[in-house]
Amino acid sequence: EVQLVESGGDLVQPGRSLRLSCAASGFTFDDYPMHWVRQAPGKGLEWVSGISWNGVNTAYADSVKGRFTISRDNSKNSLYLQMNSLRVEDTALYYCAKRDGAYDIWGQGTMVTVSS
Amino acid sequence: EIVLTQSPGTLSLSPGERATLSCRASQSVSSSYLAWYQQKPGQAPRLLMYGASSRATGIPDRFSGSGSGTEFTLTITRLEPEDFAVYYCQQYGRSPFTFGQGTKLEI
């Protein structure tokens, strides 16, 4: 079964850091770019970041550029999102998604809450 | 950044009716790299359409997509009870890969 499972979400104070993980199974992980998309409570979808199949190319939304870092470990079939200098407005459910053109596979998400 | 504007914000219809959802882009979407997703409460989004008009695996043929350039449409013929959800369009031709704000399809 093709599956993505996110983990690492938590309640953190503003200014702190958090690292999200996404474990992939059921497909050849290193064949595909991978992305992160977030959804604030009661809001729409917001693209956050993407990484090429080999990790060489990355891209970020302006709202997270300079604070978030996407990476992957193809030997572990895993995707990561290092989030530094977290802000209240980063509060959201974070999804990882497999990109085969569009996002054909999504995880169930991990919740990040930034609050003092 | 390509801004996607979806209309209407909310669409109220009944089972068996036809739904037409619109997605307008602020700039031309290259090679029709336009996708539609369905999201139900408490669930992750699900890919419905890609390349503007191609159905994703397992999507019933009552869903169809059309359009090019800056104007795109998702049509659902003969609404089923399970079709009532929020629908998002997304362009994936140019970073940042932006989403529309969503259309809520309600009974």
Summarised one tens digit per residue, pLDDT across range B48-102 is 999 999 999 999 999 999 999 999 999 999 999 999 999 999 999 998 999 999 9
Distance CA A110, CA A37 (A): 11
Q: What is the mean pLDDT of residues A51-61?
A: 96
**Chain B (47-106) residues lying within 8 Å, Cβ to Cβ, of chain A:** 47, 50-51, 56-57, 88, 90, 92, 95-102
Distance CA B27, CA B3 (A): 8
Q: Report the percentage of chain A scoring pLDDT > 70.
A: 100
Please give, rounded to a whole number of angstroms, the shortest distance from the CA of A27 to a CA of chain B: 15
The confidence score (pLDDT) of residue A102 equals: 96
Phi first, then psi, for residue A31 (nearest 5°) are -90, -15
Is residue B32 over pLDDT 90?
no
The confidence score (pLDDT) of residue A68 equals: 98
Q: What is the mean pLDDT of residues A26-37?
A: 97
Instruction: Please give the residue that has the higher pLDDT: either B107 or B62.
Output: B62
The confidence score (pLDDT) of residue A15 equals: 97
Residue A116 tokens, joined: 């003092």
Helix-, strand-, coil-residue percentages of chain B, each rounded to 5: 5, 45, 50
Is residue A19 over pLDDT 80?
yes
- Nearest residue to A94 (alpha-carbon basis) of A54, A34, A52: A34
What single string gives the DSSP state of each residue in A61-110? -TTTTTTEEEEEEGGGTEEEEEE-S--GGG-EEEEEEEEESEEEEE---E
Distances (CA, A) of B14 to B36, B60, B106: 21, 18, 8
Query: Which among B45, B46, B57 is the nearest to A45, CB-wise?
Result: B45
The confidence score (pLDDT) of residue B30 equals: 80
Is residue B46 over pLDDT 80?
yes
For chain B, the straight-line distance linking the first and the last C-alpha, in angstroms and rounded, comes to: 34
Distance CA A23, CA A79 (A): 7
Is residue B31 over pLDDT 80?
no
The confidence score (pLDDT) of residue B107 equals: 86
Contact B98, B91 (CB under 8 A): yes
Is residue A87 over pLDDT 80?
yes
Q: What is the mean pLDDT of chain A?
A: 97
Query: Which among A46, A101, A108 is the nearest to B44, CB-wise?
Result: A108
Is residue A82 over pLDDT 90?
yes
Tokens 């800056």 found at: B70
Q: Return the residue in B5, B29, B47 with the most chain A beta carbons within 10 A, the one to mutate for interface testing.
A: B47
